[in-house]
Amino acid sequence: MCSLPVFEVKPPVYPIFNAAALRQGGVCAQQVYKLAPGRAGGCLGARVRTDAPAMRMTLNKLMEMIADGRGTGVGDSYRPWEEITRRRSSPYSNLNLIPVPHLTRLCHFLSRGEREFGLLLWWLGAEDVREQYPLWPWVHPQPLDQIGHCTIGSHPGMAEVASDADIALGKYPGLRIPVVLSIDFLATIPASTGPNRLVGFSCKPLDLYSRAGPGDRLRERLELDRRYCVAANIPHHLVHPEQLPRTLVVQLHWLAPIEPWLQLKQLITSDEYQLYLKHLQPTVYEVPACDASRHAASKVGWTAEENQRALRIALWYQHLDVDLLQPIHMTRPLRQGGVALREQLQRQWFGRRA
């Protein structure tokens, strides 16, 4: 029997913000209200800086985003804090609103690098990958609480984190409310895969990072991501996505099964799929992969379309050990090495199991 990826969509722990319940989704509305124009209070950072998004934020807009559930939920119920819309564009990166394996919702990637690394996280076996995850500036429940992992105390919020680091935290123009920053990815890791249930990732091109000095805003932003994760008791990684092997990236895009997890699970756990693998594994490294797969599919009565789907799923999940660092040619025998590669990358990005 092949090992199955662990993916269980759990309902959000925190209800969506509303006027009656003021502490929802990790957000305190009193804290938002008291920072409105004309009110005392505000960011606790040592220096004042305005790093506002392109679209002007208003108090009503901010509260509407929170009420809509932005930045809350898990799996298909998750809504990124930053979403790609027709009004949003970037001269520096490619915005991607695309489907990914296991989910029915579309994912909002703000660069090609994010898209490629996000797909890698799914291939490595992440249970969930939440992009543009909000780093609330106020005190809020710990991120680990959202996946049912009991923690002690609350997260102090990005305002306190930035103040302790002596890094300025911008405010929305015309408001005394700190800008809600977001981290590129917060990945949920199966307990069987790594020692950490959550891992945070910040994606940044190496050339931009290398050109930035210690006091540049780019370095400060990455340091805030790291310190937020430290306060949340979760590991943080800085990722330079362009360093990912190009052949691996291309083949992950080609093989990615863009289907809901329950639909994929129905096939993977079926007797037909197990019989298909049983007939396929002894020959696929000796004869052309297309011939071996066609023969195995005939043993379970599958059509050509079902055969192609099953083969790509088997390659994606490494139910057939295939080296994705080398181009796959279906007219040739497969080459092993993918299982070892995936385990190596799991240790690199998810941590080493005890």
Q: Give phi and psi for 27, each to the nearest 5.
A: -120, 135
Contact at 8 Å (CB) between 97 and 108? yes
Contact at 8 Å (CB) between 201 and 117? yes
Q: Which residues contact 172 (CB under 8 A, 6 or more apart)?
A: 52, 56, 57, 62, 178, 179
Q: What is the pLDDT of residue 4?
A: 35
Concatenated DSSP letters of 312-344: HHHHHTTSS---TTS---TTS-----HHHHHHH
Q: What is the pLDDT of residue 235?
A: 96
Q: Tens digit of pLDDT per residue, the chain (354 long)? A: 444 333 333 333 332 333 333 333 344 444 444 444 333 333 333 333 334 444 578 889 999 999 999 999 999 999 999 998 766 655 555 888 999 999 999 999 999 999 999 999 999 999 999 999 999 999 999 999 988 877 778 999 999 999 999 999 999 988 889 999 999 999 999 988 878 999 999 999 999 999 999 889 999 999 999 999 999 999 999 999 999 999 999 999 999 999 999 999 999 999 999 999 999 999 999 999 999 999 999 999 999 999 999 999 999 999 999 999 999 999 999 999 999 999 999 999 999 765
- CATH architecture for the domain at 23-243: 3-Layer(aba) Sandwich (3.40)
Stretch(es) of the chain classified as CATH 3.40.1350.10? 23-243
Beta strands in the chain (DSSP E): 23-24, 27-28, 96-98, 107-109, 128-135, 181-188, 198-203, 236-239
Q: What is the pLDDT of residue 85?
A: 78
Do the strands 181-188 and 128-135 form a parallel or antiparallel pair, or are they unpaired? Answer: antiparallel
pTM over 0.85: no
Closest CA to 49 of 225, 172, 131: 172
Q: What is the pLDDT of residue 142?
A: 94
Amino acid at 64: E
